[in-house]
Chains A and B, each alone.
Chain A
Amino acid sequence: MHAALKTTLLAAFAILPAFAQAEPWTYTDGAGETITLEQVPTRIIATEDAAAALIPLGIRPVGIIGNSLPEDSKALQGLDLAGIEMVGVTHNEIDLEKAAILQPDLVIAEYWPLDKEWGGGAAVTGPGSPLRELAPVTGPAQLDSVVGLIEEYEALAASLGADLSAPAIAEAKAEFERARDAFSAAAQAKPNLTALAVWAGNDGLWVAAPEGAAELMDLQRWGLDFLKTDLNPDSGYWETVSWERSDKYQPDIILIDNRVATNRANAEAKPTWTAIKAAADGSVGEWPAYWLRNYRAYAGELDKLTAVVEAADENLTSEQ
């Protein structure tokens, strides 16, 4: 009797996905557009950022639109890409034939409301792009929090049939929460501490405004204060400062954009790098700029930042 019930139940479960296939799938994207497909999409092409979010949640795209070769991509590092086709390895470019062969049901990208642009580049995912003739483009919006973005992806992945109760996902989240709490405790223990996020260019020091980067907004929310800068709305969220004026801003800690591994060495090679007191003091951390999309990567970066904050002198500079 028991056995018979078991078999019936198993059979029922086996048929369920078949029913699910037949249900329509709708999603409202970050630009506010709702799309409806006749069934849940399974063959997904994702931008590298979307892929970095979806793969850890158990949704494996068939193709990835990269901005670089996968080995050079911070977003994709440490992810298993076996069997996934790279349909692009350059920003704003895509191999349309490769994409067509994959027969995608859906393209997942991110909407950047400030630029009113879809990730991967306007020519690739923007309105009227040839890729949109293969499959619709949708995805969450880049707002002011990476955590918020990951949660958007969780909802999207669940609608695509991901099992969010998988132990690996819970583990990653717990790991992140531990790292976040440690960072928050370290940051709040030093109320006078100010930070500055930079890119060390050859032509000058590029100073970032936290408002333009979701992960910096997260750090600010968890208790890290950023130095006030002269933001020029025309130049977006970056201010270029000549290396002669590198001491214009004096934070207690500097965070260097780590998208390119050589960025720190470039900074240290500049004769006026140490005119920034924090640099002379060695209070330099990494800024995971624009590429964090999953809890595991976030935890790793937060642990490194916590160590920098704990070692920093909050009264190195008196500026607020």
Chain B
Amino acid sequence: MTFAEPIAGVRRQVPLLAGLIGLAVIVLAIAFLSITVGARPVTLDTVWAALTAYDPNSTDHRIIWELRLPRTVVGLLVGAALGLAGAVLQGATRNPLADPSILGIHAGAALFVVLGVAVLGISQLSLYVWLAFAGAGAAMLAVYAIASVGREGATPIKLALAGSAMTAALQSIVSAILLTSPRTLDEVRFWQVGSLAGRSMDVVVQVAPFLAIGIVLALASGRMLDGLSMGEDVARALGQNVRRSRAIAGLAAVILAGASTAAAGPIAFVGLTVPHVARAITGPNYRWILPYSMLLAPILLLGADILGRIIAPPGEVQVGIVTAFLGAPFFIALVRRRKLATL
């Protein structure tokens, strides 16, 4: 911000910053709910006792520490990653429908993990993460290469089409492997809809560094995305290296989508929906859209997870199913209410 900037810009920044702080508070509130609400009723006193005076012999304490806490942290990280990955991809490809599941990134990550489990017999989570990265990267490169064929290069439409085709192809391979291999039977539901249940702190420790790198990369790419959103020619005229910008944004998206898939499976709709909500609040400026997406997405994801824990006692509904249920109508309403910005 300089003195040369119009006053209106400053006026706009203050409420946006206040909104961001408000969102951060809501994220904390949702995280609190996620630790206190679950399939098993646990009183607030017990939660407090579990967090302050942990007793390994108490089932309630173990549930708080070993089930809900990891689940909450995974939900926060994966949510932030999905929201950012969606926003970065939408900006970099100028495609309002871009998100990790539509561009084939989720399916690629899932396929490599499933292949690793079914074919190579890998059961170490530390290797899952690398498999997921490799798969996410390979799928994204393949989609980009397919979409680049032809004179006009990788247009948003061609990217979306190539990504959808790739997702369908990869998912059918995943299904085929899962169906033929009973050893991976139990992972079936996980790798098809995504879930935060049954993930331990090991998962968090494994993927947190990658997610941190991805989040920093994504947040730092706001200015580049603003440049790209004006079109390649304008971005070039402003002295931007378009190819490098795209590469950095792509790398951020692959890291975020790969790590989040490794941690929670492919969760749809969050990455697609959240950036549009953010855009509706902030306007077209990616330096605001990105942090808003990063905070809005975990609210949606953890909220959906908490809902899934309480709607079908004594069982649970996986978060991927709930987000699809919540996300789809919400997205349709959003599309109907305001014309989607052509990015």
Interface residues of A (CB under 8 A from B): 67-69, 72, 89-93, 201-204, 239-245, 247-248, 259-263, 266, 269-272, 275
Contacts and interface: CB of A to CB of B under 8 A. Distances in A.
B66 A271 contact: yes
A262 B181 CA distance: 13
Contacts, number: 93
A90 B186 contact: no
A259 B183 CA distance: 9
Contacts of B65: 271
Contact of B179 (A91, A240, A241, A259): A91
Given A68-B180, A72-B182, A203 B318 contact: yes
A263 B182 CA distance: 11
The 3 A-B pairs of least Cβ separation, nearest first, read A242-B39, A271-B66, A240-B315
Contact of B183 (A72, A241, A245): A72
Contacts of A270: 198
A204 B315 contact: yes
B186 A202 contact: yes
Contacts of B38: 242, 244
B314 A260 contact: no
B309 interface: yes
Contact of B197 (A90, A202, A241, A247): A202
12 contacts: A69-B180, A69-B181, A72-B183, A93-B179, A240-B315, A242-B38, A243-B67, A244-B309, A245-B39, A245-B314, A262-B183, A269-B200
Interface stretch (B20-28, B187-195, B323-331): B187-195
A244 B315 contact: no
Residue from B40, B59, B123, B314 with most neighbouring chain A CB atoms (10 Å): B314
A105 to B, nearest CB: 28
B316 interface: yes
Given A204-B315, A242-B316, A245-B40, A90 B179 contact: yes
A271 B183 contact: no
A288 to B, nearest CB: 14
A289 B200 CA distance: 28
Contact of A243 (B123, B197, B313): B197
Contacts of B190: 202-203
B33 interface: no
Contact of A272 (B63, B187, B309, B318): B63
B315 A68 contact: no
A203 B179 contact: no
Interface in B160-186: 176, 179-183, 185-186
Nearest to B175: A90
Residue from A241, A243, A266 with most neighbouring chain B CB atoms (10 Å): A243
B67 A266 contact: no
B287 interface: no
A89 B198 CA distance: 29
B158 interface: no
Contact of B59 (A204, A240, A275): A275
A240 B313 CA distance: 9
B40 A204 contact: no
A242 B315 contact: yes
A260 B39 contact: no
A150 to B, nearest CB: 23
Given A201-B186, A272-B67, A244 B39 contact: yes
B314 A242 contact: yes
A67 to B, nearest CB: 8
B63 A244 contact: yes
Contacts of A269: 200
B315 A243 contact: no
Residue from A72, A203, A243 with most neighbouring chain B CB atoms (10 Å): A203
Nearest to A263: B186
A287 to B, nearest CB: 15
Nearest to B59: A275
Contacts of B62: 271-272, 275
A203 B182 contact: no
A91 B186 CA distance: 15
Interface in B302-343: 309, 313-316, 318
Contacts of A202: 186-187, 189-190, 195, 197-198
Interface string B271-298: 0000000000000000000000000000
B183 A261 contact: yes
A239 B315 contact: yes
Contacts of A247: 59
B160 to A, nearest CB: 31
A131 B38 CA distance: 48
B180 A89 contact: yes
Contacts of A240: 314-316
Contacts of A204: 197, 315-316
A295 B54 CA distance: 51
A131 B79 CA distance: 47
A105 B65 CA distance: 60
Given A72-B182, A247-B59, A242 B195 contact: no
A69 B176 CA distance: 13
A12 to B, nearest CB: 50
A260 B186 contact: yes
Contacts of A245: 39-40, 313-314
Given A243-B67, A244-B67, A262-B183, A203 B189 contact: yes
